[in-house]
C-alpha cells in the first residue's frame, strides 16, 4: 500500500522526516482556524474537551515529537512511537473513523485521525519545554547546533550505533537513518563515541541533515541518492517505496558483501563489514 501524494496516509513507521512532513502538511489543513477535537476511541476524551473548538495557532515538530499550540494556552503533544499513524480525509464531512482513533481533529477543510500513538496528551508550555530540553539537536531544525552533538558523542564511551538512537544526543534519527548515516561515512557501528574525530561526527551530522531533508521531500526513506557513484535507477525500491544501502538489505548495495547486524540500542544495526571497517 503506497501513500498517495496529497491524501496524507503514512503507512511506514516514522522517523524525524515523517514528523516534519506531517507538521507541514497538517499545518495547511488545521492551523489558523477553530478545530473540533474529539476521541472516538475514548482514551483522549477528557483532554480533548480542553481544546475542542479552539483555534490552532501552530504545529511544531521537534525530533520525533509534535507540539500543538492552542490559542487558549494548552499544548498538545503527540509522539507516534512505533505504531502511531495519521489518516487525513479532505473535505468538510468527517467520515466514520477507521480503526482505533485516539484523537480526531476536524475543520471545514479536513479531518485528521490519529491512531496508535505512544503519546497523545495535553500539556502546559512548561511541560512542553521539559520535553524539548531533554532532546538533542534536530537536524531538520534551523536552530540546531551540531557542536552539541559533537560534544555529547565524544563524551560517551557507548558505541556510536547506540548513541545515534539516543534522542538526548541527536533527535529524529531511527533505526534506518542511523544505519545509513554510518554507512555513508564508512563508520563501524561499534566504534565508541569518544574515539570518533570531531570531523567524523560533523560528517554524520551533515549526512543526517541531507538525508532527513530529502526524506521530508520524498515522504519516505530513499538514501541511495547520497553517493555520487550510484547511478540513477540502479537500485530498485522496496514494496514500501524505500531504498537503502544497508538497512534491511541482505547485501551491501555498493559492494555486494553480506550485510551484518549488531544489536545496539536494543535493535539491530545493519552495516557492511567491508565499507565500514572496525
Chain residues that interact with DNA, rule: CB under 7 A:
1, 11-15, 41, 63-64, 79, 81-83, 85, 98-100, 102, 115-118, 165, 167, 174-176, 221, 240, 242, 248, 266-268
The Cα–Cα gap between 17 and 129 comes to 21
**Whether residue 64 lies in the annotated active site:** yes
Element (H or E) spanning 85, and its range? strand 85-90
- Select which of 60, 267, 268, 273 is catalytic: 267
For DNA, the closer CB: 11 or 199: 11
- Select which of 14, 94, 97, 137 is catalytic: 14
Read off the DSSP letter of residue 98.
P
**Whether residue 202 lies in the annotated active site:** no
**Whether residue 267 lies in the annotated active site:** yes
The Cα–Cα gap between 84 and 119 comes to 9
Residue 111 C-beta: closest distance to DNA, Å:
15
Place of cell 480542553: 50
CB atoms within 10 A of CB 273: 14
For DNA, the closer CB: 98 or 198: 98
Q: Helix, strand, coil: what percent of the chain each, to 5?
A: 30, 20, 50
**Whether residue 268 lies in the annotated active site:** no
For DNA, the closer CB: 214 or 267: 267
- Select which of 21, 64, 104, 141 is catalytic: 64
Residue 75 C-beta: closest distance to DNA, Å:
16
Could you give the 3-state DSSP secondary structure of residue 9?
coil
**CA quadruple 116, 121, 125, 127: dihedral sign:** negative
| Contact between 25 and 88 (Cβ < 8 Å) | yes
CB atoms within 10 A of CB 94: 18
Residue 247 C-beta: closest distance to DNA, Å:
8
For DNA, the closer CB: 176 or 259: 176
Residue 32 C-beta: closest distance to DNA, Å:
28
Residue 57 C-beta: closest distance to DNA, Å:
25
For DNA, the closer CB: 53 or 81: 81
For DNA, the closer CB: 102 or 188: 102
Strand order in the sheet with 65-70: 85-90, 110-115, 103-106, 34-38, 54-62, 65-70, 75-79, 119-123
Taking CA atoms, 2 is separated from 10, 12, 220, in Å, by 8, 9, 10
The Cα–Cα gap between 268 and 276 comes to 16
Residue 87 C-beta: closest distance to DNA, Å:
8
Task: List the catalytic residues.
Answer: 14-15, 64, 267
Amino acid at each position: 500500500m503506497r501513500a498517495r501524494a496529497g491524501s496524507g496516509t503514512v503507512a511506514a513507521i516514522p522517523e524525524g522526516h515523517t514528523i516534519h512532513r506531517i507538521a507541514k502538511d497538517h499545518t495547511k489543513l488545521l492551523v489558523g482556524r477553530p478545530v473540533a477535537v474529539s476521541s472516538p476511541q475514548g482514551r483522549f476524551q477528557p483532554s480533548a474537551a480542553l481544546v475542542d473548538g479552539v483555534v490552532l495557532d501552530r504545529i511544531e515538530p521537534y525530533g520525533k515529537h509534535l507540539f500543538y499550540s492552542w490559542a487558549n494556552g494548552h499544548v498538545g503533544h503527540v509522539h507516534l512511537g512505533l505504531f502511531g499513524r495519521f489518516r487525513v480525509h479532505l473535505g468538510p464531512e468527517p467520515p466514520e473513523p477507521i480503526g482505533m482513533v485516539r484523537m480526531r481533529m476536524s475543520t471545514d477543510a479536513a479531518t485528521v485521525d490519529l491512531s496508535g500513538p505512544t503519546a497523545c496528551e495535553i500539556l502546559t508550555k512548561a511541560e512542553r519545554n521539559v520535553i524539548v530540553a531533554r532532546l538533542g539537536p534536530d537536524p531538520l531544525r534551523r536552530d540546531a547546533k551540531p557542536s552539541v552533538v559533537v560534544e555529547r558523542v565524544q563524551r560517551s564511551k557507548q558505541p556510536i550505533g547506540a548513541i545515534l538512537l539516543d534522542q538526548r544526543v541527536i533527535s529524529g534519527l531511527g533505526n534506518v537513518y542511523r544505519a545509513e548515516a554510518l554507512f555513508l561515512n564508512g563508520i563501524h557501528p561499534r566504534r565508541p563515541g569518544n574515539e570518533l574525530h570531531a570531523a567524523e561526527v560533523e560528517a554524520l551530522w551533515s549526512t543526517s541533515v541531507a538525508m532527513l531533508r530529502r526524506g521530508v521531500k520524498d515522504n519516505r526513506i530513499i538514501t541511495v541518492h547520497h553517493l555520487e557513484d550510484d547511478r540513477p535507477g540502479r537500485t530498485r525500491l522496496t514494496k514500501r517505496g524505500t531504498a537503502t544501502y544497508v538497512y534491511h538489505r541482505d547485501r551491501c548495495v555498493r559492494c555486494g558483501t553480506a550485510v551484518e547486524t549488531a544489536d545496539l540500542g536494543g535493535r539491530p544495526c545493519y552495516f557492511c563489514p567491508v565499507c565500514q571497517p572496525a
